[in-house]
Structure 1
Amino acid sequence: MARTTTVLLVGGSGHWAGRENHAPALLDMQNSGWPVRTAVICDPRDPEKRAQDEGMAPLRELLVRDAPQWLNPDGLSRTELESVLDGAHAAHRFSLVIIACDPVHHRDYILWAISRGISVLCDKPLLVAEGAAHDPAAAESINTSYAAIERALTRARATGPCHLAMPLRRRANDVYRSVAADIAEVQSTYGQGITSMQLIKNGGLFRYPEEYLFGDAHGYRSGVGALSFSSYHYIDLLAWYLELAPGEATAVRVTNPYVRRVGDFLRTRQAAVLADLIGAGDTGRSVALPPQVLAAEADFVFNLELLGEDGRKAGLVTYSCHSNTYSHRSVGPQEFDRANRQPFREKGRMSQFTLDINQGSLQHIGIFKNDVVGEDYRIRVQRRRTPVVAHEPYAEEVFHNAHAGSSVTPQDVLQAMVRLVSGVSTPAEVADRIAFFEGQRLSHHLFGTFYELIAAGSVAGSAVGSANGGAAERFVELTT
């Protein structure tokens, strides 16, 4: 028999938790008879009001069924928050904490939970620090916080099971796992690792200046931008593939040749031309944005030189992110947005990327996606292998409805975590697709290192950042 899972849902009033993933997954488990209950929602936004105003039917149903207590953390110090959470834990005895709040607060909730032996499922990015785009100390705290969590997990596990995982869609998705299998096969059979990997991501996120002050969990007001918004998925993808096929590489030398910050972007013609065509070009142009918003990263490039044991260059990985690219946005600012009630993903955001992978002379894989966010995504994968090692040198496949149609989804991962903390084995087809903390070391360290370099560029330039990231570099070991 499964033990009842009592959930603390942090950030439960947001769209991802309340409409798209967490609430629906928990309701589905209840409908199947599974003993799980959301006892507390911790969020500065009133879940009752959010469910009504935003039309979040799953959140509204969860509130009716479980009648969770609402905790408002707004204005509380870390010590005060821990005291409030301890009181709630004493009353409800949480067995799982699901974290879906502003990422700058993830660290505090994670450390509180695992220090008390409570398992955690935390949305990406696992760790980011307020002001990391312009404050070197804040940026460096990302990796030091990782080490603190690692130590806390070790202490917690000395007395019993304690899990920390992330519902990473790409780690569980059929498309990316098929590519991973091809990469691993060439590495294991021929000893050929990845020698070049280039990822170009386009966000299409057109915003009016005033809209940089909005955005719920992923706003720019915390002094972080596009890197913490969606880039962790892609950083993790690069790290995952690189760990599967490192070849001769034992470390990477990371540099940041280009950064364009919000302040840089808003001084360009590009920042106004679409607004002029929409017919609302003057709206919001006179808004005085705070320095931390202007310094937040919008576009950036990172180079990862692959280095062998003797320092010999073994290849190159490049990640380019451009937030302000083609957008299908056709409307100006709305009063609904000014009330901070509507996420901007429905206002022009794109999901476009090209990933080009080479394993020496033996294999090339290309992955291509070009969709409006919210559509049924289509991903095209092309693979070529040299004819001397393959009976089928060229193969191509298009995955339709690639995210929702995957055999394992983020909802499946959440449900697997509920089963795990309830003392019931997780289905085999899902178990190896849960992205546990232990398997994310390289991804987390690259993410933190990227922020260290962005912050170093800010110090080297002006108060709102310079056009490049300076001459700084960092080295990251590939071994886990």
Structure 2
Amino acid sequence: MSAAMNVLVIGVGPHTHLNHLPALAAAQDAGLAGTVTGVDLPHAAACAVEYGTPGRPRRMPVTPVQPFPASRSALPDAVRRVLEDVVGRDRIGAVVVATEPSVHLPYALWAMERGLPVLLDKPLTVHPGASTDPAAAQTIADDFDTLLDAYRTARRRHPKMVVSVLSQRRWHPAFRRVRELIAEVAEATNCPVSSVQSSHGDGQWRLPDELVDLSYHSFDRGYGKAAHSGYHHFDTVPWWLAAGERPGKEIDEIEVHATCTRPSDVLAQLTVADHARLLPAFAGRNPYTEQDLLDLTAGYGEVDVFLNVAYRNRGRVMALGNHSLAHTSFSQRGPLPPAAGGLYKGNGRIGQEIHIVQQGPFQALHLQVLQTLHRDDEGIDPRAVGGADHIELHVFRNNQMRPDWQRHRTLTFADLIQGSGDSTVLPTQRSARTCAVTEFLGHLNGRIGRSELASDLADHRRPARLMSAAYLSMARRAANNGRPTSPVVLDFHRAVSPAERSLAALGVPR
């Protein structure tokens, strides 16, 4: 078993504070991680970052690097020198890339070239203007090929190299259970998944002036919902579909049509005047006219995006998909001032999502996450519908054809818990993220085999292409003055098949 790795975290913003650092602190407690060092832009590196577990506070030193254009595929020499100094000084053995995603590519390429294992945050990459510029949208798919080529090269030089993608639903017990149920019925019937309806609403109510004044997930750079929480759906749905693929029924092509709303649409749905009536103090705060806002947000990214997808095999539709991704959804924001710390959490943002998976005439799976925000003293069961941790999976099976199948059963929060003791994984996003970090470091420490890794980079060709297709559809429509265009068609082969997941498949001798 190897010694605990010292970890370099590139990007220490709110997302890292909420997600990565608690998991890394738990890994330090478990002996999986050594020191944790940060790198970020100067404004974020002004002081050490406080993090830790209960009773064990820690401070992470943060070294500044200068910003550089998102269009670069290689790090500037000055940034590279800073990173090399940190790696040598702190004896870094692994890297977490948690920056703004438009610069994921150069940081990940640098780490692989350096022989450092990488935990790469989702999405893999994105480019400014992706929702309006077809070339930027296409580059999302091309970037995956660049990453995979670099990964293969790194694996030949460093056989223990691993790049794991932190798309946490792959570790979430409820989403894993759906995949297992799909595989079980596919094995019994030879029937793939025939349709998937997925929706996600995060209740982010941004007031008109905040569209301009508060930056959020680089919405002002020409991409939005599809590039952050949307990637989870682009990853999860193909991952589920793959569990139902049978010989001769593998998906090899997608046809995608996307429709989105932009700030101009949101300002028509609920106008500046509407906000002034609903929130009397808003008019005194807001310096912008509606025309000002339309002009200032003209190049912004999508707010909501809905996709219709045909998943094909040799021209025949194997599955139909409808994927609805919305910021404009039920919210619990009330106060006029935004929550301290920005829009990442707070401002009434909640988690509600529903997935309906049909598997021919044999099985239907309904996964429901219907949460609200509430205080502990309100007497609300956090695991019930409307609770902060609600999740429920309904399983329907054709017991008329198979009497040994149960007609309907409901799996609640308690039913979906996996493991026990220190290995317990709760059916929550936070627990799944912790599991992702633990698995990555556990592999580097020799406790988890490569075949057990849930989210190897090589498995992410399909989500990268689905995300690229979504943006291509949006961008082509934008380039056509908002008029409909032909659907986007892309090949959808896997980068590696399950049978090829070995060292030899990545060009490394057995």
TM class, shorter-chain normalised?
Answer: 0.7 to 0.9
Would you say 1:384 and 2:378 are equivalent positions?
no
Q: CA deviation at 1:219?
A: 3.2
**What secondary structure sits across from 2:127 in the alignment?**
coil
Query: Structure 1's 16 and 61: CA in aligned 2 closer, same or farther, altered over 3 A?
Result: farther
Partner residue of 2:124?
126
- Cα drift, residue 416 of structure 1: 2.6
Once the two structures are TM-superposed, the CA of residue 324 in structure 1 deviates from its matched residue by: 0.7
Corresponding residue of 2:313: 308
Alignment partners' CA distance in 1, 2:47 and 2:54: 9
Mapped to 2, the partners of 1:431 and 1:249 lie a distance apart of 22
Is the alpha carbon distance of 1:177 and 1:117 closer, same or farther for their aligned partners in structure 2, counting shifts above 3 Å?
same
Within 5 Å, which residues of 2 pair with 1:41-56? Answer: 41-47=39-45, 49=47, 51=49
Q: Using the alignment, how far apart are the partners of 1:288 and 1:222 within structure 2?
A: 15
Task: State the Cα deviation string for residues 385-442 of structure 1 (Å, max 9, x = none).
Answer: 11112431111122269797239631232133223334x222x7x9735311112221
The residue number in structure 1 matching 2:66 is: 73
Q: Contact (CA 8 Å) 1:221, 1:293: kept in 2 or not? A: no
Matches of 2:391 and 2:271, distance apart in 1: 29
Q: Which residue of 1 aligns with 2:432?
A: 409
- Percentage identity across paired residues of the two chains: 22
- Return 91-100 or 112-121, whichever deviates more: 91-100
Query: Residues 280-359 of structure 1 correspond to what in structure 2 (within 5 A)?
Result: 280-282=281-283, 283-284=285-286, 285-286=288-289, 288=293, 294-309=299-314, 311-334=315-338, 341-359=341-359
Amino acid at match of 2:178: V
Q: What secondary structure does 1:207 align onto?
A: coil
For residue 177 of structure 1, what is the aligned residue in structure 2? 176
SS at match of 1:158: helix
| Corresponding position of 2:486 | 471
Deviations 1:23-61 (A, max 9, x none): 22222233344551123433443356585xxxx543999
**Given the superposition, is the C-alpha separation of residues 35 and 241 from structure 1 closer, same or farther in structure 2, using an over 3 Å criterion?**
closer
CA distance, structure 2, for counterparts of residue 272 and residue 180 of structure 1: 47
Aligned partner letter, 1:158: R
Task: Give the deviation of 1:278 after TM superposition.
Answer: 3.4
Structure 1 residue 97: Cα displacement: 1.0
Amino acid at match of 2:235: D
Structure 1 residues 212 and 59 mapped into 2: Cα distance closer, same or farther (>3 Å)?
A: farther
Alpha-carbon RMSD? 3.1
Relative distance call for 1:31 and 1:384 in structure 2 (3 A) is: closer
- Looking at structure 2, the residues matched to 236 and 271 of structure 1 have their Cα atoms a distance apart, in angstroms, of 36
Question: Partner of 1:266 in structure 2?
Answer: 267
Q: Distance in 2 between matches of 1:255 and 1:342?
A: 33
Amino acid across the alignment from 1:441: R
Letter of the structure 1 residue corresponding to residue 164 of structure 2: A
1:425 equivalent in structure 2: 447
Instruction: Check the 8 A contact 1:203/1:323 in 2, yes or no.
Output: yes
SS of the aligned residue for 1:130 comes to coil
Q: List gaps (5 residues or longer) in structure 2.
A: 375-386, 418-424, 496-510
Q: Give the secondary-structure state (helix, strand or coil) at the position aligned to 1:200.
A: strand
Could you say if the C-alpha distance between residues 61 and 212 of structure 1 is closer, same or farther in structure 2, counting changes exceeding 3 Å?
Answer: farther
Distance 1:275 1:107 in 2: 43
Cα distance change, pair 197–35 in 1 and its aligned pair in 2 (3 A): closer
How many residues are treated as equivalent by the alignment?
A: 460
Question: Aligned pair in 2 of structure 1 residues 279, 60: CA closer, same or farther (>3 Å)?
Answer: farther
Q: 1:206 to 1:178 in 2, by over 3 A?
A: same
Q: 2:124 aligned with 1:113, yes or no?
A: no
Moved more, 261-270 or 160-169: 261-270
Q: Which residue of 2 aligns with 1:360?
A: 360
Counterpart of 2:384 in structure 1 is none
TM-score normalised per structure 1: 0.86
In the alignment, residue 138 of structure 1 is paired with which amino acid?
Answer: A
1:97 counterpart letter in structure 2: V
Q: Deviations over 1:48-93 (max 9, x none)?
A: 6585xxxx54399999555x34223335884132233233334334
234-243 or 278-287, which deviates more: 278-287
Change (3 A) 1:397 1:276: farther
Aligned to 1:26: 24
Cα distance change on mapping 1:445 and 1:295 into 2, 3 Å: same
- The aligned counterpart of 1:84 is 82
Q: TM-score with structure 2 length normalisation?
A: 0.81
Q: Structure 1: state its 5+ residue gaps.
A: none
Q: Which residue of 2 aligns with 1:452?
A: 472
Distance 2:414 2:294 in 1: 41
The 5 A counterparts of 1:158-307 are 158-160=156-158, 161-213=160-212, 218-246=217-245, 248=249, 250-269=251-270, 273=274, 276-282=277-283, 283-284=285-286, 285-286=288-289, 288=293, 294-307=299-312
Aligned to 1:378, the other structure's residue is in SS state coil
Q: Is the 8 A contact 2:65 2:79 kept in 1?
A: no
